[in-house]
């Protein structure tokens, strides 16, 4: 924090804070009024509808900044908590009290979710691109009890499946992997088309839901958890000018963990 606007009392100069994706909500629409500001009708998003997410400095609304005190990670290592960590946290929360959880797509979000889920006493099954043994080894090293290709069946029916890869074809596959009454949660903003599938894969009260954005309460809850349970992040740093290179590496699966742009 280099400067404070008028009336900002909760932060001090020099303090380390995080600025997440959610940059502003209206506070009065039906979603804001019911504790679901992640669905606000007129939101703003950092680096998307509000400038400064890809810059050396950013002006942010103090109401949407979060103190990072008490989390023993350096600036690069802590960055994934503010994006992948937060959406992963909200996606995992949608799984309720599920004990056996499948993660489809083992990237930035999943590599944090597996640690959280394990600390909560859940069993995690990681699904990667078929044949990606490096990603499967990575998942097991972080606590997954099983790892395999997304075309494989898990060794036991899942209580819930979380999909982080933007691949619609994973939806029917995940539905086939969850037990009766199980839930499939789509964690991505964008996904390719979902192919048609037999109704019997949804039958028996299986549920299919998506997750959008985050609330400030999600951020407070997740950061409080990260203070209690040390998380590790795997990052690759890129200079600001190499942002497109980072995206290409992500698309090609050449990256383990999270890419972090460093001004
Ligand atoms: Zn609103």
Q: What is the DSSP string of 128-185?
A: ESTT-HHHHHHHHHTT-SEEEETTSPPSS-EEEEEE-SS-TTHHHHHHHHEEEEEEEE
Distance CA 93, CA 16 (A): 27
pLDDT for 254: 86
Given a contact cutoff of 8 angstroms between Cβ atoms, the answer to whether 2 and 57 are in contact is yes
Distance CA 103, CA 81 (A): 18
71-123 tens-digit pLDDT:
999 999 999 999 999 999 999 999 999 999 999 999 999 999 999 999 999 99
How many other CB atoms are there within 10 angstroms of residue 197's CB atom?
A: 14
Position 19 pLDDT exceeds 90: yes
Sequence ranges of the domains in the chain: 17-85+214-262, 88-210
Q: Give the Å distance between the CA of 111 and the centre of ligand 1.
A: 31
Q: Give the Å distance between the CA of 157 and the centre of ligand 1.
A: 38
Bridge partners of residue 203, in order along the sequence:
none
pLDDT for 253: 80
Q: Give the Å distance between the CA of 214 and the centre of ligand 1.
A: 13
204-237 tens-digit pLDDT:
999 999 999 999 999 999 999 999 999 999 999 9
Q: Give the Å distance between the CA of 34 and the centre of ligand 1.
A: 9
CA angle, 8 as apex, 7 and 11 as ends, to 5°?
Answer: 160
pLDDT for 90: 97
Q: Give the Å distance between the CA of 195 and the centre of ligand 1.
A: 33
Q: Give the Å distance between the CA of 212 and the centre of ligand 1.
A: 14
pLDDT for 255: 86
Specify the 3-state DSSP secondary structure of 95. coil
SS (H, E, C) 101-112: EEEECCCHHHHH
Residue with tokens 């080894």: 137
- In terms of phi and psi (left: phi > 0; alpha: psi -120 to 50; beta: otherwise), the region of 143 is left
Q: Give the Å distance between the CA of 35 and the centre of ligand 1.
A: 10
Q: Give the Å distance between the CA of 229 and the centre of ligand 1.
A: 32
Q: Give the Å distance between the CA of 30 and the centre of ligand 1.
A: 7
Name the CATH superfamily, with its identifier, for domain 88-210: NAD(P)-binding Rossmann-like Domain (3.40.50.720)
Q: Give the Å distance between the CA of 63 and the centre of ligand 1.
A: 14
Q: Give the Å distance between the CA of 22 and the centre of ligand 1.
A: 12
Distance CA 151, CA 138 (A): 18
Query: If we measure between CA atoms, which residue out of 67, 108, 104, 105 comes closest to residue 219?
Result: 67
How many other CB atoms are there within 10 angstroms of residue 62's CB atom?
A: 14
149-187 tens-digit pLDDT:
999 999 999 999 999 999 999 999 999 999 999 999 999
228-257 tens-digit pLDDT:
999 999 999 999 999 999 999 988 888 888
How many other CB atoms are there within 10 angstroms of residue 215's CB atom?
A: 20
Q: Give the Å distance between the CA of 37 and the centre of ligand 1.
A: 6
- CATH class assigned to 17-85+214-262: alpha beta
Q: Give the Å distance between the CA of 33 and the centre of ligand 1.
A: 7
Q: Give the Å distance between the CA of 193 and the centre of ligand 1.
A: 29
Give the predicted TM-score (pTM) of the model: 0.95
Q: How far apart are the first and last CA of the chain?
A: 16
pLDDT for 252: 86
């Amino acid at each position: 924090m280099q400067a404070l606007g008028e009336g900002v009392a909760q932060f001090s100069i020099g303090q380390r804070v995080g600025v997440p994706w959610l940059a502003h909500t209206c506070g009065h629409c039906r979603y804001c009024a019911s504790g679901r500001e992640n669905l606000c009708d007129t939101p703003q998003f950092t680096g998307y509808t509000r400038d400064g997410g890809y810059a050396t400095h950013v002006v942010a609304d103090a109401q949407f900044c979060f103190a990072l005190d008490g989390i023993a990670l350096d600036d690069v290592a802590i960055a994934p908590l503010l994006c992948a960590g937060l959406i992963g946290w909200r996606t995992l929360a949608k799984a309720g009290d599920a004990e056996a959880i499948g993660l489809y797509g083992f990237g930035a979000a999943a590599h944090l979710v597996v640690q959280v889920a394990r600390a909560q006493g859940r069993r995690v099954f990681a699904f990667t691109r078929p044949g990606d043994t490096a990603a499967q080894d990575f998942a097991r090293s972080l606590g997954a009890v099983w790892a395999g290709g997304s075309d494989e069946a898990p060794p036991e029916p899942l209580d819930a499946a979380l999909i982080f890869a933007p691949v619609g074809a994973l939806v029917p596959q995940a539905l086939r992997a969850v037990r009766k009454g199980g839930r499939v949660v789509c964690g991505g903003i964008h996904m390719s088309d979902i192919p048609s599938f037999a109704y019997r894969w949804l039958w028996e009260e299986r549920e299919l839901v998506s997750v959008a954005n985050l609330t400030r309460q999600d951020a407070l809850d997740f950061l409080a958890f990260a203070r209690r349970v040390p998380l590790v992040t795997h990052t690759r740093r890129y200079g600001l000018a190499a942002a497109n290179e980072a995206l290409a590496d992500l698309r090609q699966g050449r990256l383990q963990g999270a890419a972090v742009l460093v001004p």
